[in-house]
Structure 1
Amino acid sequence: MTTHDQFQLHLQQLPPQPETAIETIFTLGNGHFGVRASNPLQGTQTAYRGQPGLLVNGFYDLTPLSYGENYFGYAQNSQTICLLPDPRLIIFEIDGIRSDEQPFDVKIVDKNLDMQTGVLLELFDVTTPTNKQFRLTLQSFASQDDTHFYVINYRISALNFTGPVTIIKQHAYIDQQIARDENDVRAAQRDMTLDRTFTSGQLPTMMISTRKSQLALLVAMTPLPDTNMPLTTIDDLPAYSRTLDLTSGLTVNFSFAYAIGNPHPLLDATQLLQDFTETAESRLAGQTFDALLASSQQRLVDFWRDSDIALHGDDTLAKAIRFNLFHLFQAAGRDGQTSIAAKGLTGTGYEGHYFWDAEMFMFPFFLYTQPKIAKSLLLYRYKTLPQAQQRARELAIKNGALYPWRTINGEEASSYYPAGTAQVHIDADIAYAVAAYVAVTDDQTFLLQAGYEMIIQTARFWLAYGHYTADGMDFVIEDVTGPDEYTAMVNNNYFTNRMAQYNLQIAVDYSTQLKHEHPEKLVALNVTTAEIDAFQRAATHMTLPYDDERRIKLQDDVSTTKPVWPIAETPRNQFPLLLHFHPMTIYHYQVNKQADTMMSDFLFPDDQDQAQLQRDFDYYEAITVHDSSLSRAIFGILAHRLHQPEKAYQYFTETAMMDLTNAQDNTGSGIHAANMGGSWLSLIFGFAGVALTADHQLRLDPRLPENWTSLRFQLQFRGRKLVFTVTQSALTCRLIAGKPLTIYLQHEPILITNESISHRFL
């Protein structure tokens, strides 16, 4: 298989999939918006099985949460990403029958996603109710150069007739369908009503507005210069339309561009309307499909240059990892105002919310390959720090901040607090990401302007939420939920406490640093010597529960006292357990949805020796059902560290292929973005053995699966760009930008100098 083939994803290469899963897999996006690869004739018709639509990062409406008993501090509104009209929609009128009024028969011939160029090529065979057949070909891309543009080209050719066809590009509706699955709590189940107005002028613009969040979005559509399709009015709404005579064997070609604005407060959007349309007209003037594509492609060239992973020895996995990296790039907000939703911008699952996995599973990929995007993701958390501080006040925490478990606008949107707000570890997760960013980039300006404040405010939360035991010897954190959502409201969750300990310690370390370099920052945040001492004391005395009899880390104070769930006796059709058993039933047992204590073992490898890691792994693997897509990657990395290659390879394969095979049976509601980040973690922190030492040095200890011949990847570290190639017998490192750097192969230092190649046998 050629290198170019490894960037091509053909529909025929995939196992049979539901139509909604196909739409997800072939979605195009650019961090600002995503467009599902739907049937372009569907629109709002329920005769088709698809779920078409446009998703814009950060464009949501509020949907009231209903409680039988509405206690103080409960989230009052969810925030639901809006599924907007499908820009792919095209209407045909043949023999007086319009495709948006009476369904045409549409068969998918092929879909091919070229991940090097970002172009999606699709072929459909369409049959009208009068049995006239034509081939519809689509080429489309979401611009990576100007992330406000979506561009699409249509080609139609008659297959069995000659005669007139009317083509209409119009958006006559605003309320797109929302997938509903009353039995799956992970699916979006909110009803929203949007409003729409059109402006007149040379470039017709639709303003879509929400009713409760009071946001507005401007969307303009225009034909490109090679398209002869005049603007008209149909049913009192603007439309582009043309009637032409199709002749069998001849092809008609036309292209459109969409300018998709940023979410704005409703009044602001109205004021910005003229500037938006003038900018769109100016930017698109004289631009062809190919010209716009060329500028978009260059950004993808840059992306793959810095982020590609070339895996040789397993073509299927090589393509899967590139598919995952491509979707991560498409999903990440790049404006400092947005983050990465659990389903990216490919579907409405989890309502478009951002969770802890943005920092813990997806952020590392960007940190080491696209640090500007990594910084933007952290700036979103800094922007929403005031909401986190307010949330802490709602929980009677007078000082500090508590970030929401699930959110879009920075406010808590979780209606089930035992598996939502109680996951207070998110504070430390964000602080961990901040510290990682500073360590890897040495961006001291960010630390001073934003990062330090986030670390201090989250550290303050732990001092207030935790407390000392009666004898004053141990610091405990009670009534929390760790990453394992099948164990809720426990005391001293190991992962939470270990992360809180780290959060407190880095608050001490950075305070000590800035006290000498920028003492005014401590004064501005009212950080005192007494508070720094309190951080240190809590970190030193943090409770980390341990079972002396089993010699394992305890997930919480009483985790091993519960009966073990009979996993082997549970029918496969009753997984995931959360869809078939009441939470109280699940909480009664030892059964893990995902890595919890093992997540700590992954993040803090120096906390335990191999024997301890093996005991932890054996115990927790036996009670983990991997109902969360976040789980397998972590177990796979730890299996690799324990020199269990077959198990590590199996976990990695399941991680890398999850969405391409619809393994969780819910890809139709969107990709599993965190799992995609987990596939990168598996390769880099697993098989390549990359680690960041306590003194911020790069260390590698690579071991490849026996059927892989090589693994090539790039990392950026403190202003350097490095290319690594690992084979079965050697590691090669090349410095392509930046100053010389010493790295460590296992424990051996290697000096890498400019443009030199360092080769070491393993």
Structure 2
Amino acid sequence: MDKLDAAPALSPAPTARTVSPAPPAADVDPWRIVRHSTDPADFAQDESLFALANGALGVRGGLEEAPGGSQGSFLAGAWERTPIEYHERFPGFAAHTDTRIPVADAIGIHLRLGDTPVRLAEGEWLDFARELDLRAGCYRRTLRWRSPAGEKIEIRAERLVSLDEPGLLAIRYSVHSLDYTGAITLESSIDTARDAIEQGADPRIGVRVDGGFHTEQSDADETSAWLIQRTTHSGVRVACMQRHRLDAALHCRYGGHGANGVVQIHEGALAPGGSVTLEKYVAYAWTTPHDEDTDAALLARADQALLRAQAQAFSGLLQAQQRALASLWERTDLQIEGDPRVEQSLRFNLFHVFQSSGRDGHSSAAAKGLTGEGYEGHYFWDAEAFMLPALVNAAPELARGMLAYRYRTLDRARAHAREMNHARGALYAWRTISGDECSAYFPSGSAQYHINAAVAWAVRLYVDASGDRDFLREQGAEMLIETARVWLDVGHFNPRRGGAFCIHSVTGPDEYSALVDNNHYTNRMAQKHLRDAAATARWLAAEHPQDWAALAARLALDEQEIVAWSLAADAMYLPVDPALGIFPQDDAFLDKPRLRAVTASEGKRPLLLELHPLTIYRHQVCKQADALLALMLAGNDVDRSAKRRNFDYYEGVTLHDSTLSASTFSVLATEVGRHDKAYAYFLDTLRVDLDDLHGNAAHGVHMAAMAGSWLALTWGFGGLRVVDGLPSLAPTLPAGWTSYRFGLRWHAAQLRVEVERNGVRYTLADGGPLRFRHHGTVHTLAPGGSIALPLQPQPARLPRPLKAVIFDLDGVIADTAVVHHAAWKQLAEEIGVAFDDATGERMKGVDRRGSLDILLERATRAYDEEEKHALAERKNAYYREQIAQFGPQHLLPGAQAAIASARAAGMKIALASASRNAPLLLDRLGIAGLFDYVVDAGRIARSKPDPEIFLDAARGLGVAPHDCLGVEDAAAGVDSILAAGMAAVAVGDSPALAHADVLLPNVAAFDIAQYTT
């Protein structure tokens, strides 16, 4: 999910922009984020980046002297309820929306030098820096400023939102005189003027709030200042109180009411070289909706928090903050050798996910966390599918808190299921705060039943990773069971599909296809959900019979229903398209035409803001490819070649309008060997907010994208999955890195994973023993133990005895790839279609017509069949012109010897080439007589990666496929060999070939003896 902001209202407008260039990589501190921009256009984004939070309270990183229109403070528990107005309302439509709204903001410290207010925009900014210290969880800011009168001061401000005290904000604010002599005044305020942003044309930002906060009471004196706010409809009350610690140079002159709240005024004097320092402590206390707590009780809670803070002083709070973060950094154990910017970005992203996630079971992780107003502060399925997996091995207590929130709102999910006409079970809302559905557009809201499966998946992941069976017994089992029941209501055993269990009229994560039948993501995740629910019910009955009896009686659950879950899971409809070899995203997706390019009206805007939804729904286009997400989350039983086919196909139809998309593509690209793409997608999710890639970081950072960068590291490059309850890893090393390291908390053990060029070292830093998988093989580490393993798995043992070898032509026997590339490039230039190396790589191993389809994906117009035939023939003519000049000298070194050695060893020899010109080329090369059988594209209906060409070669030789060895240089060809049930030898150094049984640098290294003895 992503959003765009209205133009922020900013107070400062410095006379000159002084943006320092990014420091060299060698100078990057991976523990600090530093920005120097003084351009007001950057301030709203910086407020998001430097926001601080603790799961309950979030404070954007505005300037104390001039907070501006985009500054805000938020409480996870402070929201308003507004009716949703429909011209036409039908049963079950969402009745109201919950909106998190800004609370009183207390960062304000306004300055006066003598009698003159300090207005930063009217002076000169000599030097400015914002810094986020990730170790300490502290935001620091320095500004050297010259007044219009020529006086120079330096302002230093430090800020933290306590991770130990839920509602506590602390600021240490110092003003140092460079050449100013005279009086100084610091006006410390609590401001209630900030309202929620009004919604404009973009529904992702702003709200139409009916009501909001109003101030019920307020007061101030020289000791403290406070006020109490109350929402109009939701019944939430918030108390905000402030106290101070003053250095000897300051005294409080006044406490009372200000223009929009309360203020305390402190005075002192400055001389050149002198400083004054004010420590400001702010505490919030709040109620749940319509709670009976008295105002006095709220104020007493806030006051006690402030007294504790004053006793520690800012330095003590800072030390406590660093201790609170130490556990996170010890568990993540992160290090990247080769790119300090990447390490810095990963730490920054995880820090934001950590600090904005709920801790008390009353809140979760919102799409924008507590850093801004995007998406009204709602919780989506992203929390369970992205944020929780990033935290579960680093801060499992936060993962538990997010699930506790779901359990707390289970009754609201039951009520929502009844609204949706389900007689039993529970259906979690797509977007919510209170637990009620808040989306007014049901086709992409309530229709997203997959939210149930995401919650269930997260329950299983948390229990597997933490070993917290008590949670499963006390809360998780009931959540799994109640949410599983809905699948049998929305799905059915379809006699028209051979009795397969089909699920109709739902919307998957890809919101560009709505109300579809058999959405692959939904079906696959529902299958896992049903199996987990049945297994959990049986576990509870066996291990905790009394708890099970009570739960089953309360839910009216019997064995027949549990059996039905297993039957539905086993019969789940997950078809494979026979022509493409991929999972259709839904029943109708592949039948639709592809969407032609659309020019956005401004910046990077999602397609849904450019076109009517029905226009999008009628086309084959993805906001994010949910079929790939299903393979990432629940695809352990899908082989890598199938995942690669799906990756290649859906990459061509996905716009990545969602910031969730890049991380999924990165993880899958690593798994299927598309390593360059994996890294490019990793960078996209890594820098979404730091580089404002979607143009909307001003409204809060993208929590799921930030979490996705951690998943791209651990699940992608680290290959982490959960297989049969054990952590399973298959690490790879990105080309630009020397090494990397990350930590993994599993049950009570801490596993360190260190990846280098020469292998992987696993070390049990704490706890144990621990069982884990490395490339599928189970290993056990004793406490303190360490083991070094190869980066790639040992080659699989090949079938014995082999009877035949089937060679590819292009890139194995002769290097005709450059000729194909040149011919396609010439054709592309003639018809005005972009052609690059990546497109050429996709064509490797693909027949002429399939390659033409790849080329025409970028065409600006459609071509009919006659035109396509003519284009293919034109390309072939260019190719034949060049190969007519070929001779034996064009054989790759060692190719003829490799073929001859296989024949000398008694092997039958075949050629399987996607080129229709294979016979001609063999004649030109002078080796036609070495082959017993030749298959080219003219003899087959389906090109590689389909196995047909290799199966046909085996039939032609009269040899069973499992007795054959295939030799290929393209990933599609290796896929074809493996899908045929043959052993595969790959020739080349591309990481995309790593899934072959044997990887050779070139065909000259081919030694048939090692496969036959």
TM-score interval, smaller chain: over 0.9
| Greater alpha carbon shift after TM alignment, 634-643 vs 241-250 | 241-250
Q: Is the 8 A contact 1:224 1:286 kept in 2?
A: no
Residue in 1 that maps onto 2:692:
662
* Distance (Å, rounded) in 1 between the aligned partners of 2:83 and 2:115: 44
Q: Is the 8 A contact 1:142 1:151 kept in 2?
A: yes
Residue in 1 that maps onto 2:786:
757
3-state SS of paired residue (1:268): coil
- Give yes or no for the alignment of 1:233 onto 2:255: yes
Seen in structure 2, the aligned counterparts of structure 1 residues 440 and 287 have a Cα distance that, compared at 3 Å, is: closer
Q: Which amino acid aligns with 2:573?
A: T
* Distance (Å, rounded) in 1 between the aligned partners of 2:465 and 2:554: 26
| Greater alpha carbon shift after TM alignment, 397-406 vs 239-248 | 239-248
* Distance (Å, rounded) in 1 between the aligned partners of 2:621 and 2:294: 49
Residue in 1 that maps onto 2:419:
394
Shift of 1:526: 2.4
* Distance (Å, rounded) in 1 between the aligned partners of 2:722 and 2:91: 43
- Give yes or no for the alignment of 1:223 onto 2:244: yes
Residue in 2 that maps onto 1:406:
431
3-state SS of paired residue (1:616): helix
Shift of 1:287: 2.4
Q: Which amino acid aligns with 1:674?
A: A
* Distance (Å, rounded) in 1 between the aligned partners of 2:42 and 2:534: 52
Q: Is the 8 A contact 1:712 1:724 kept in 2?
A: yes
* Distance (Å, rounded) in 2 between the aligned partners of 1:424 and 1:129: 60
Residue in 1 that maps onto 2:569:
539
Shift of 1:656: 0.6
* Distance (Å, rounded) in 2 between the aligned partners of 1:3 and 1:56: 37
3-state SS of paired residue (2:293): helix
Residue in 1 that maps onto 2:757:
728
Q: Is the 8 A contact 1:203 1:281 kept in 2?
A: no
Alignment of 1:61-210 (within 5 A): 61-94=80-113, 96-98=115-117, 105=123, 107=125, 109-126=128-145, 133-159=152-178, 161-171=180-190, 173-180=191-198, 182-191=200-209, 192-196=211-215, 197-198=217-218, 203-210=224-231
Residue in 1 that maps onto 2:883:
none
3-state SS of paired residue (1:686): helix
Q: Which amino acid aligns with 1:591?
A: V
Seen in structure 2, the aligned counterparts of structure 1 residues 569 and 549 have a Cα distance that, compared at 3 Å, is: farther
3-state SS of paired residue (1:286): helix
Q: Is the 8 A contact 2:104 2:240 kept in 1?
A: no
Q: Which amino acid aligns with 2:465?
A: V
Seen in structure 2, the aligned counterparts of structure 1 residues 546 and 726 have a Cα distance that, compared at 3 Å, is: same
* Distance (Å, rounded) in 2 between the aligned partners of 1:307 and 1:32: 23
Residue in 2 that maps onto 1:31:
55
Alignment of 1:368-447 (within 5 A): 368-447=393-472
- Give yes or no for the alignment of 1:349 onto 2:374: yes
In structure 1, stretches of 5+ residues that fail to align are none
- Give yes or no for the alignment of 1:506 onto 2:532: yes
1:177-208, CA deviations, whole angstroms, 9 ceiling, x for partnerless residues?
44456232211233453122225685433222
Residue in 1 that maps onto 2:79:
60
Residue in 1 that maps onto 2:905:
none
Seen in structure 2, the aligned counterparts of structure 1 residues 285 and 233 have a Cα distance that, compared at 3 Å, is: closer
Q: Is the 8 A contact 2:426 2:485 kept in 1?
A: yes
Q: Which amino acid aligns with 2:560?
A: A
- Give yes or no for the alignment of 1:270 onto 2:288: no
* Distance (Å, rounded) in 2 between the aligned partners of 1:160 and 1:526: 79
3-state SS of paired residue (2:269): strand
Seen in structure 2, the aligned counterparts of structure 1 residues 465 and 475 have a Cα distance that, compared at 3 Å, is: same
Structure with the greater alpha carbon radius of gyration: 2
Shift of 1:13: 9.2
Alignment of 1:273-352 (within 5 A): 273=298, 275-352=300-377
Select the residue among 668, 671, 685 that pairs with 2:715: 685
Q: Which amino acid aligns with 1:147?
A: P
In structure 2, stretches of 5+ residues that fail to align are 1-24, 792-1013
Residue in 1 that maps onto 2:645:
615
* Distance (Å, rounded) in 1 between the aligned partners of 2:181 and 2:218: 36
Shift of 1:269: 4.9
* Distance (Å, rounded) in 2 between the aligned partners of 1:527 and 1:266: 34
3-state SS of paired residue (1:668): helix
* Distance (Å, rounded) in 2 between the aligned partners of 1:266 and 1:447: 30
Shift of 1:727: 1.0
* Distance (Å, rounded) in 1 between the aligned partners of 2:577 and 2:618: 19
Q: Which amino acid aligns with 1:190?
A: R
3-state SS of paired residue (1:62): strand
Seen in structure 2, the aligned counterparts of structure 1 residues 75 and 181 have a Cα distance that, compared at 3 Å, is: closer
Alignment of 1:358-757 (within 5 A): 358-470=383-495, 473-520=499-546, 521=548, 522-567=552-597, 573=603, 575-693=605-723, 695-757=724-786
Shift of 1:29: 1.3
Q: Is the 8 A contact 2:253 2:266 kept in 1?
A: no
TM-score by structure 2 length?
Answer: 0.71
Q: Is the 8 A contact 1:149 1:260 kept in 2?
A: yes
* Distance (Å, rounded) in 2 between the aligned partners of 1:408 and 1:759: 47
Seen in structure 2, the aligned counterparts of structure 1 residues 216 and 738 have a Cα distance that, compared at 3 Å, is: same
TM-score by structure 1 length?
Answer: 0.94
* Distance (Å, rounded) in 2 between the aligned partners of 1:105 and 1:410: 49
Q: Is the 8 A contact 1:501 1:539 kept in 2?
A: yes
| Greater alpha carbon shift after TM alignment, 588-597 vs 713-722 | 713-722
Question: What is the percentage of aligned positions where both structures have the same residue?
Answer: 34
Q: Is the 8 A contact 1:368 1:716 kept in 2?
A: yes
* Distance (Å, rounded) in 1 between the aligned partners of 2:738 and 2:648: 30
* Distance (Å, rounded) in 2 between the aligned partners of 1:324 and 1:407: 24
1:417-444, CA deviations, whole angstroms, 9 ceiling, x for partnerless residues?
1111111100011011111111222211
3-state SS of paired residue (2:636): helix
Shift of 1:500: 1.1
| Greater alpha carbon shift after TM alignment, 25-34 vs 5-14 | 5-14
1:558-610, CA deviations, whole angstroms, 9 ceiling, x for partnerless residues?
11111101138878957421221111111111110012111111112333222
Q: Is the 8 A contact 2:225 2:255 kept in 1?
A: no
RMSD: 2.5
Shift of 1:551: 1.8
* Distance (Å, rounded) in 1 between the aligned partners of 2:302 and 2:401: 27
Seen in structure 2, the aligned counterparts of structure 1 residues 112 and 676 have a Cα distance that, compared at 3 Å, is: same
3-state SS of paired residue (1:166): strand
Seen in structure 2, the aligned counterparts of structure 1 residues 231 and 287 have a Cα distance that, compared at 3 Å, is: farther
* Distance (Å, rounded) in 1 between the aligned partners of 2:305 and 2:460: 39
Seen in structure 2, the aligned counterparts of structure 1 residues 316 and 2 have a Cα distance that, compared at 3 Å, is: closer
Q: Is the 8 A contact 2:220 2:264 kept in 1?
A: no
Q: Aligned pair count?
A: 754
* Distance (Å, rounded) in 1 between the aligned partners of 2:446 and 2:182: 62
Q: Which amino acid aligns with 1:64?
A: P
Q: Is the 8 A contact 1:685 1:691 kept in 2?
A: yes
3-state SS of paired residue (2:30): helix
| Greater alpha carbon shift after TM alignment, 59-68 vs 373-382 | 59-68
Q: Which amino acid aligns with 1:73?
A: G
Q: Which amino acid aligns with 2:206?
A: A
* Distance (Å, rounded) in 2 between the aligned partners of 1:16 and 1:362: 31
Q: Is the 8 A contact 2:281 2:310 kept in 1?
A: no
* Distance (Å, rounded) in 2 between the aligned partners of 1:269 and 1:207: 11
3-state SS of paired residue (2:430): coil
